Amino acid sequence: MDAPKLRAVRFGVMLPSYLRPSRETVLGVAQAAERLGFDSVWTNSHTVVPASFKPRYPYGDDGMPSWNAKTAWADAMITLGFVAAATERVRLGVAVVPLITTDPITLAKQSATVDLLSKGRFELGVGAGWLLEEGEALGHPTDHRQTRLEETIDVLRLAWTKPTFSYEGRFVKIPEVGVHPQPPQGAALPLWIGGQGDAAVRIAAEHNAGLFIWLQTPERVAEYGRKLRALRPGAPLAACIWTSQDKREWDEQVRGMEQAKVDLLVIGRRYDDQQVSEISRFAATFLSQVR
């Protein structure tokens, strides 16, 4: 008996820009994802990891991640520019850039450049940032992060659409400037807000962005989706999932996220020499089921 068809969910793949980045691993996964019919490939972003920091990691019970100051994190935007030159169809996204590691103008410039080099395939995820010590190490402000995020969204869209602009926010203040080249997608460049709380939901809803959820159960993702779409019906919802490399419980996750009404589902975790074979197996099982 054939498996029931999935609703029209976009499926993406996390690139191995984290843990084991190399020319061979990144290209291998990106080109396989394009060949297999995945919608998109994604990076995530940290610039510097302090040797010690307070346990506030939002995706683990003890507040600490599995990675540390010695873990490899290739630059997310440079990686996507590299992948843009080696692919033609697959969309390119970052989920997410912590705002405390950058500034609005630099982020606007990088995003426009990747979008230009990929002929309009880029999607930007941005979050307020939880690793405060990372922002402090870079000399960036870490206070009032949600307000700064909202002001950054305003600046991004001005930079992507106006010949010149100025901005006078509570925290972000920019004299009359131009940021060129602008992205081919212009104001339509997809913007995702990463976060695990009501503030992220509100910002996504109020600023015409999608909400990108990391490492949550389908039930929790569905709850976030209901809150988001109560504020803005039809708002895009994305989730990143992974499963045990031994158990490979993809079916339960995928079906659950479909029921949670996600629009984009990004699979990750398999950052080893079997990642290409794993996404091949996933594609054979699920991509043919999308109706």
The predicted-structure confidence for 55-87, as pLDDT tens digits, reads as follows 777 777 777 877 788 989 999 999 999 999 999
Instruction: Give me the sign of the Cα torsion angle 194, 196, 198, 201.
Output: positive
Given a cut of 60, whether residue 6 has pLDDT beyond it is: no
Residue in the structure block whose two tokens are 């389908």:
218
Cα separation of 84 and 38, whole Å? Answer: 15
Give this prediction's pTM: 0.93
* Amino acid type, 142: T
Strands (E), 84-190: 91-98, 122-127, 165-168, 173-177
* Amino acid type, 44: N
Q: How high is the pLDDT of residue 215?
A: 85
Cα separation of 51 and 290, whole Å? Answer: 44
Q: How high is the pLDDT of residue 269?
A: 64
